[in-house]
Amino acid sequence: MSGTPAALLPYAPAELDGLPPGLPVHLWDGTGAPPPQEVLDTVGFFALPYLRTAAAVPLLPRMPGLRVVQTLTAGVDDVRPHLPAGVQLCNARGVHDASTAELALTLILASLRDIPGFVRGQDAEQWRSGFYPALADRRVLLVGYGSIGAAIEDRLAPFECRVERVARSARQASRGPVHPLSQLPQLLPEADVVVLVVPLTEETHGLAGKEFLSRMKDGALLVNVARGPVVDTTALLEEVGSGRLTAALDVTDPEPLPPGHPLWHAPGVLISPHVGGSSSAFLPRALRLLAAQLRRYAAGEPLEHRMV
């Protein structure tokens, strides 16, 4: 432990169960002035404050002894361009699985059963009875099958729907085969619900574009809990505007969605404000992850969830 560079954390040591004794710790939650340079000079492990990446990344080049950057997000696309050479980047795999999977299921059910319409009806004192689609007997295509994709399938399991899985490459998962991305053209026309759970990379930027959307069957639902730019917004507006597709979006491009943007009032579109991971499930899982990573860091052991 002696001589271990300090950790800069957004949470106090008392909140981290099992924090290695003697590890130097500094606190900064991403608000207010950043730590002085004499503190930054000592930092080897930097846990980026959740939802404050823009405030944190300018500090990276000011940390000469930096060894590890630990995000509290699953996606790291907003950190990679700022990462100094030779620094490890670890994501928060597992922290957001439960929360994001819950929201994905919520968006699916709310869209299929037209919960937004019921809310509008209640506001207008209208009794909107009728016949609405169910999730039962539907085909759900999960595009992206990491830990969050698997968690979504766990929650879909009781709903009597058929699930297909797609990832970068084919493999066998515990619940069944995972198809490669190259098979999307064959799988999309059969899906009633398509859920995007992929990381944002050069390969997935604009993945759900005009061709992708045109292959979806009439009446299908697109759910995006990945990143906004995975979907081509212009192409999506054309499809939902025609009434051929519907969409439920926790992320948008642009984001945050500005006032007056046509997505706000596009027919058949349900929008949540990027809250997949922002729930009460976040903090206890984030604290467990940080404590475990810091124990490995202090012991000189390999860290988990390394992206770089």
C-alpha–C-alpha distance, residues 294 and 297, integer Å: 5
C-alpha–C-alpha distance, residues 155 and 7, integer Å: 36
Query: Is residue 102 annotated as part of the catalytic site, yes or no?
Result: no
Give the active site residue among 255, 261, 288, 296. Answer: 255
Task: Report the alpha-carbon angle 179-191-209, nearest 5.
Answer: 80
Provide the β-strand partners of residue 115.
Answer: none
Give the active site residue among 96, 274, 285, 305. Answer: 274
Give the active site residue among 227, 239, 285, 305. Answer: 227
Q: Are 52 and 71 in contact (CB under 8 A)?
A: no
Query: Is residue 255 annotated as part of the catalytic site, yes or no?
Result: yes
The two tokens of residue 157 are 């399991």
Query: Is residue 82 annotated as part of the catalytic site, yes or no?
Result: no
Q: Which residues are catalytic?
A: 227, 255, 274
